[in-house]
Structure 1
Amino acid sequence: MAEQKLLDVVIVGYGPVGQSLSILLGERGYRVAAFDRWPALYPLPRAVFHDHEIRRVFHAMGLGQDVEKISQPSATYQWFNAEWKTLVEIDWSAESISDGPVGYLFNQPSLEALFDSKAKSLPTVSVQQGWEATAVHQHTDYCEVSLREGTMVDGTWTPTGNTQTVRARYVVGADGANSFVRKSAGIAVDDLGFQEDWLVIDLKPNEGVKLDVPDIGQWCNPARPTTMVPGGPGLRRWEFMRLPHESLDDLQKPEKVWELLSPWVTPADATLVRHAVYTFRSLLAKNWHSGRIVLAGDAAHQMPPFMGQGMCSGLRDAWNLAWRFDLILRGITSPGLLESYTPERRPQVRAVIEASIAMGQVVCISDPVQAARRDAAYLAGDVPPLPPFPGLSGGLICTHQPFSCDTPAGLLSVHGQIRTGDATSRFDDAMPNGFHVITLDADPAHYLDAASQNALERIGGRATGMTTDAAKAVAGHILLDASGKYQRFFDEHGVKAIIVRPDYYIFGAVKDLADLPALLGDLTSRLGADLDTLTAHARSGEQALA
């Protein structure tokens, strides 16, 4: 890569978040360079769970069927006390709003291999592994990133002496918990107070071995809080909390590992893939955006694993950034659109972290008296159920009157099977990604005047009707709600139309279709009223900087 070539986005960090953002931008044709300190992908398991929303992202990346081959639907998530009495059941196998079960289990190295292959196949994406960022400087119209090359010598990252400097309109720090980009931008971090050491063990049962173990669960045993979960097809994971009297060194000895596993599995039954102690933390960057520098993934947040949302939250960051960068780089909106990134992502992630901490505080009880009180409360039904997964509470959503009253703005939108003509498919497979106006049992063209339709087209959106009445369906225009999920969702919220953002979150909704032009007008005005000026400005800026 020529040193002075202006890129659209430089991504520092090439884990799942950096990989997915590279794909999402590269598929849109943007010039992206991803750099990672390590010369090769990390080969051992880490994350094992993704939810239904993230499965939709995989479909949007063109990897839905490939991910399906390396993952399995989750069973019910169960919490047991020391006597194996059920305290909590969370049905992750239930039908979700996204047309499939709530959750899935997978092996992260297999997932990253898919991401890596896809990213490197895109002609506008450059992936350079073995390059460490050493400086990030912001200028008025671009950022400059200095990097040095390194290689592994006897297990130690060692500089080769080669360096390079690249320029890009934006820099994304997806470089993990110790993010160099975050520190370079001077962004502080809030500690929400959770910190526990856990031994994480991954193993592969021998062929034909059937383990007598809950499929996915927490054993809330004060003598040793324990997590048991599939590690993806053909793999299993155990996690054991370090007790106060134990040292980290003692916990990682192979004989200790097999001692802890002995109630369920022996060395004759399985091969140990890896074991390591992790410190589960709860950290949240105060701001995720500073000028032309943006944070994503562990660079912006860390959380306990009890909700399985660590990687999921990072992929939501990438998904949220992808459509923002798309609108900015196409000149549809100004760089000010990034100002709503933190108000959207930070409150949602904070709510997820706080829920994960609450779950961890239930699991991580090592005092028998406290555990007995916990058990009694759960077994008596005195503990309220977990709150629903949080949506968006700020940012680019319509929360003002007359649209905010009892409407689903900020929630993840419904997704289901639709039929257009003779073809039945997923909505996001049949329709291009972008803003969508969806009306129920009505032709949206009857309610959007020429100016509204023109504005929708100019932000890359489209209007579609949805009906459960096959006689009212019009191929490509009014779709048949084959599963009835859209009808149920609209009826549940008492709305007649919704505007869905490119990341599948609802911008706003109306109860009266006569209000639809005003709702669309609110969206387009917040994206930038003078679209012609913005487009011309973006093009002239590209010519000046290229």
Structure 2
Amino acid sequence: MTDQNILDVAIVGYGPVGQSLSILLGERGYDVAVFDRWPSLYPLPRAVFHDHEIRRIFHAMDIGEDVERISQPSAKYQWFNADWKTLVEIDWSAESISDGPVGYLFNQPSLEALLDRKAKSLANVSVQQGWEATALRQLSDCCELTLRRGVMNGANWEPTGETQTVHARYVVGADGANSFVRKSQHIEFDDLGFQEDWLVIDLKPNDGVKLDVPDIGQWCNPARPTTMVPGGPGYRRWEFMRLPHESIEDLQKPEKVWELLSPWVTPENATLVRHAVYKFRSLIARNWHSGRVVLAGDAAHQMPPFMGQGMCSGIRDAWNLAWRFDLILKGISSDRLLESYTPERRPQVRAVIDASIAMGQVVCISDKEEAARRDEAYLAGEVPALAPFPGLTEGMICKNPAFACESVAGLLSVHGQVRNLGEASRYDEVMPNGFHVITLDAHPNQYLDAQCKAALAAIGGRSIGVTTDAGKAVKDRVLLDVSGKYKQFFDEHDVKAIVVRPDFYIFGGVKTLQDLPSLLSDLASRLPLAESIEAAVS
């Protein structure tokens, strides 16, 4: 059959990235269809970690409290040598910039089930599972996507002979490492050189069983590099690196699995959920955007798991795309706005991949002498601390030294508890998502001329003040900074105002409020506004 109705966005792939993007666009009112080859959700664990930034995105989807119920705050992430001496300790339990701990652990099937329910609750989101994309053409005003239906016959996917063709203004490939969408656009991967086979084991300890293991740890034992982490509430995960003399087939045998687990857990006190050998790789697509087609998630990048950022990076892709599509589909911006997607996302993801590789190269040492040298350097304090998590370095950010603070542009913005002359609540519960101008101890409007106010209104932006002085709080205009995080952030970066994008990244900041109009003018000049909008604000 052929559907001549043109969707706003068609998404290929219904893992967490495709699910998230369908929700983010569906909640904004757009007609979205999402297709996946598999007739049902994948039932086994994969990702187990998301960070504070992703938790903010879940709150933006209005599922933050639901996610909280299926996850647990992270503990400290520790690396040990073969003798269990601590080499590295990263405090993922510490308070983050986002109002909560740095990280959380979860069970992916539970998360996917939650995202699935949310996506299917949206009337304008069509979820079509069991449909494989087979052809993709870009036309002058839309894309044409051809799909075939399949069912499972045992472990095999078999086509039924039924096909359909849909048209959408834009297509997003969130269809994983072997992405059909990426291949259809002839987009190549750059291989960054990391490749190791690891056996991944998930199990569920019996009720009442207490395991004597680090909560989150890398055992950097050259005899067998090993990862131990929670798999979400009630689950545990072990990962074992394949040694050169071992075959993948031998490593996956149940008796080998229990042999490797035997120092910590036995079949008598836990149930094996799944085990499989995965090839940890480091790949990044050269371009993530081609005309009306964009890539997200594993279709655009793959990385070793040592930072827990694979799924997180994909959801950041979806979040970055959501606000761009919103401006484009509302007619506020032209689709040239997609041209800054790759320049923004690729450098940040490349930095995360590089850091993950560096961590992997520390963990994956199987030579005893090399491991001894590594241990000596770490124990002597000769290894520098890990760099801060990367922000945005390119794309739609302002670092113009004539009026903007160069250090703040591209950072993830602060988020904390505020009070709007009522009960304290999250900032994102008080202020709807969008572009925000935030000033310290004053409301921004007194520093904006009519043209700036019109430009901000045209892109759906809002202005708000924050203060730690209750006497300066004004309902709906200046919020009381209950957490003190906003004042601390502004003081640390020596800024009086920041412009925050819908994806929570800072477009730019100013040291004096008199420079705020210049910053907003710069934002308007960088957004490829539609002609009608540009005329209204010029």
More moved, 404-413 vs 307-316: 404-413
CA–CA separation in structure 2 for the residues paired with 1:107 and 1:355: 24
- Indicate whether 1:514 and 2:522 are aligned: no
One-letter amino acid of the structure 2 residue matched with residue 282 of structure 1: S
Q: Give the RMSD, CA atoms, in angstroms.
A: 1.2
CA–CA separation in structure 2 for the residues paired with 1:106 and 1:219: 21
How has the CA–CA distance of structure 1 residues 173 and 375 changed in structure 2, closer, same or farther, with 3 Å as cutoff? same
Report what 1:302 is aligned to: 302
Does the aligned pair in 1 maintain the 2:258–2:267 contact within 8 Å?
Answer: yes
After TM superposition, give the deviation of residue 2 of structure 1 in Å: 6.4
User: What SS does the aligned partner of 1:3 have?
Assistant: strand
CA–CA separation in structure 1 for the residues paired with 2:479 and 2:345: 32
User: What SS does the aligned partner of 1:324 have?
Assistant: helix
After TM superposition, give the deviation of residue 151 of structure 1 in Å: 0.4
Report what 2:464 is aligned to: 464
More moved, 83-92 vs 520-529: 520-529
Does the aligned pair in 1 maintain the 2:405–2:510 contact within 8 Å?
Answer: no
More moved, 476-485 vs 450-459: 450-459
One-letter amino acid of the structure 1 residue matched with residue 8 of structure 2: D
Report what 1:476 is aligned to: 476
After TM superposition, give the deviation of residue 531 of structure 1 in Å: 5.2
Aligned pairs (5 A) from 1:171-186: 171-186=171-186
After TM superposition, give the deviation of residue 74 of structure 1 in Å: 0.3
CA–CA separation in structure 1 for the residues paired with 2:60 and 2:223: 45
CA–CA separation in structure 1 for the residues paired with 2:411 and 2:122: 32
One-letter amino acid of the structure 2 residue matched with residue 223 of structure 1: A
User: What SS does the aligned partner of 1:109 have?
Assistant: helix
More moved, 490-499 vs 450-459: 450-459
- Indicate whether 1:242 and 2:251 are aligned: no
CA–CA separation in structure 1 for the residues paired with 2:527 and 2:140: 22
Structure 1 spans left out of the alignment, 5+ residues: 537-546
How has the CA–CA distance of structure 1 residues 530 and 119 changed in structure 2, closer, same or farther, with 3 Å as cutoff? closer
After TM superposition, give the deviation of residue 442 of structure 1 in Å: 1.5
Report what 1:442 is aligned to: 442
After TM superposition, give the deviation of residue 250 of structure 1 in Å: 0.4
Q: Could you list the per-position Cα deviations for residues 330-359 of structure 1 after superposition, in whole angstroms to 9, with x for gaps in the alignment?
A: 011110000000000000000000000000
Report what 1:494 is aligned to: 494
CA–CA separation in structure 2 for the residues paired with 1:264 and 1:107: 21
Does the aligned pair in 1 maintain the 2:336–2:528 contact within 8 Å?
Answer: no
Report what 2:383 is aligned to: 383
Identity %: 78
Report what 2:196 is aligned to: 196
Report what 2:427 is aligned to: 427
User: What SS does the aligned partner of 2:111 have?
Assistant: helix
Report what 1:74 is aligned to: 74
Aligned pairs (5 A) from 1:165-176: 165-176=165-176
CA–CA separation in structure 1 for the residues paired with 2:123 and 2:2: 16
CA–CA separation in structure 2 for the residues paired with 1:39 and 1:304: 28
How has the CA–CA distance of structure 1 residues 103 and 535 changed in structure 2, closer, same or farther, with 3 Å as cutoff? farther
After TM superposition, give the deviation of residue 528 of structure 1 in Å: 3.4
CA–CA separation in structure 1 for the residues paired with 2:525 and 2:489: 27
CA–CA separation in structure 2 for the residues paired with 1:347 and 1:527: 20
After TM superposition, give the deviation of residue 401 of structure 1 in Å: 2.5
Does the aligned pair in 2 maintain the 1:21–1:318 contact within 8 Å?
Answer: yes
CA–CA separation in structure 2 for the residues paired with 1:493 and 1:255: 56
User: What SS does the aligned partner of 2:3 have?
Assistant: coil
User: What SS does the aligned partner of 2:392 have?
Assistant: coil
After TM superposition, give the deviation of residue 457 of structure 1 in Å: 1.0
- Indicate whether 1:322 and 2:325 are aligned: no
CA–CA separation in structure 1 for the residues paired with 2:118 and 2:530: 36
CA–CA separation in structure 2 for the residues paired with 1:403 and 1:292: 35
How has the CA–CA distance of structure 1 residues 246 and 395 changed in structure 2, closer, same or farther, with 3 Å as cutoff? same
After TM superposition, give the deviation of residue 430 of structure 1 in Å: 1.3
Does the aligned pair in 2 maintain the 1:204–1:270 contact within 8 Å?
Answer: yes
CA–CA separation in structure 2 for the residues paired with 1:360 and 1:222: 13
Report what 1:544 is aligned to: none
CA–CA separation in structure 1 for the residues paired with 2:534 and 2:471: 43
Does the aligned pair in 2 maintain the 1:407–1:494 contact within 8 Å?
Answer: no
Report what 2:122 is aligned to: 122
Report what 2:398 is aligned to: 398
Report what 2:369 is aligned to: 369
CA–CA separation in structure 1 for the residues paired with 2:314 and 2:332: 26
How has the CA–CA distance of structure 1 residues 330 and 110 changed in structure 2, closer, same or farther, with 3 Å as cutoff? same
Does the aligned pair in 2 maintain the 1:333–1:534 contact within 8 Å?
Answer: no
CA–CA separation in structure 1 for the residues paired with 2:403 and 2:285: 32
Report what 2:505 is aligned to: 505
User: What SS does the aligned partner of 1:187 have?
Assistant: coil
One-letter amino acid of the structure 1 residue matched with residue 523 of structure 2: L
CA–CA separation in structure 2 for the residues paired with 1:452 and 1:402: 18
Report what 2:264 is aligned to: 264
CA–CA separation in structure 2 for the residues paired with 1:2 and 1:64: 38
CA–CA separation in structure 2 for the residues paired with 1:489 and 1:88: 27
User: What SS does the aligned partner of 2:238 have?
Assistant: strand
CA–CA separation in structure 1 for the residues paired with 2:126 and 2:481: 41
CA–CA separation in structure 2 for the residues paired with 1:7 and 1:362: 47
One-letter amino acid of the structure 2 residue matched with residue 43 of structure 1: P
Does the aligned pair in 1 maintain the 2:399–2:406 contact within 8 Å?
Answer: no
CA–CA separation in structure 2 for the residues paired with 1:199 and 1:289: 34
Q: Could you list the per-position Cα deviations for residues 403-422 of structure 1 after superposition, in whole angstroms to 9, with x for gaps in the alignment?
A: 44443000000000000011
After TM superposition, give the deviation of residue 532 of structure 1 in Å: 2.1
After TM superposition, give the deviation of residue 7 of structure 1 in Å: 0.2
Aligned pairs (5 A) from 1:108-257: 108-257=108-257
CA–CA separation in structure 2 for the residues paired with 1:530 and 1:9: 19
User: What SS does the aligned partner of 1:182 have?
Assistant: helix
Does the aligned pair in 1 maintain the 2:334–2:530 contact within 8 Å?
Answer: no
User: What SS does the aligned partner of 1:5 have?
Assistant: strand
TM-score normalised over the length of structure 1: 0.97
Does the aligned pair in 2 maintain the 1:334–1:534 contact within 8 Å?
Answer: no
Does the aligned pair in 1 maintain the 2:78–2:216 contact within 8 Å?
Answer: yes
One-letter amino acid of the structure 2 residue matched with residue 63 of structure 1: I
Q: Could you list the per-position Cα deviations for residues 196-238 of structure 1 after superposition, in whole angstroms to 9, with x for gaps in the alignment?
A: 0000000000001000000000000000000000000000000
One-letter amino acid of the structure 1 residue matched with residue 63 of structure 2: L
How has the CA–CA distance of structure 1 residues 519 and 534 changed in structure 2, closer, same or farther, with 3 Å as cutoff? closer
CA–CA separation in structure 2 for the residues paired with 1:528 and 1:165: 31
Q: Could you list the per-position Cα deviations for residues 439-476 of structure 1 after superposition, in whole angstroms to 9, with x for gaps in the alignment?
A: 00112111011221121111000100110000000011
Q: Could you list the per-position Cα deviations for residues 241-296 of structure 1 after superposition, in whole angstroms to 9, with x for gaps in the alignment?
A: 00000000000000000000000000001000000000000000000000000000
Q: Could you list the per-position Cα deviations for residues 57-108 of structure 1 after superposition, in whole angstroms to 9, with x for gaps in the alignment?
A: 0000000000000000000000000000000000000000000000000000
User: What SS does the aligned partner of 1:392 have?
Assistant: coil
CA–CA separation in structure 2 for the residues paired with 1:292 and 1:374: 48
User: What SS does the aligned partner of 1:67 have?
Assistant: helix
Structure 2 spans left out of the alignment, 5+ residues: none
CA–CA separation in structure 1 for the residues paired with 2:443 and 2:88: 45
How has the CA–CA distance of structure 1 residues 222 and 441 changed in structure 2, closer, same or farther, with 3 Å as cutoff? same
More moved, 524-533 vs 430-439: 524-533
One-letter amino acid of the structure 2 residue matched with residue 399 of structure 1: K
After TM superposition, give the deviation of residue 530 of structure 1 in Å: 5.6
After TM superposition, give the deviation of residue 129 of structure 1 in Å: 0.3
One-letter amino acid of the structure 1 residue matched with residue 360 of structure 2: G
One-letter amino acid of the structure 1 residue matched with residue 166 of structure 2: V
Q: Could you list the per-position Cα deviations for residues 499-527 of structure 1 after superposition, in whole angstroms to 9, with x for gaps in the alignment?
A: 00000000000001111011001111221
CA–CA separation in structure 2 for the residues paired with 1:413 and 1:405: 14
User: What SS does the aligned partner of 2:97 have?
Assistant: coil
CA–CA separation in structure 2 for the residues paired with 1:87 and 1:530: 54
User: What SS does the aligned partner of 1:212 have?
Assistant: coil
Runs of 4+ off more than 6 Å = none
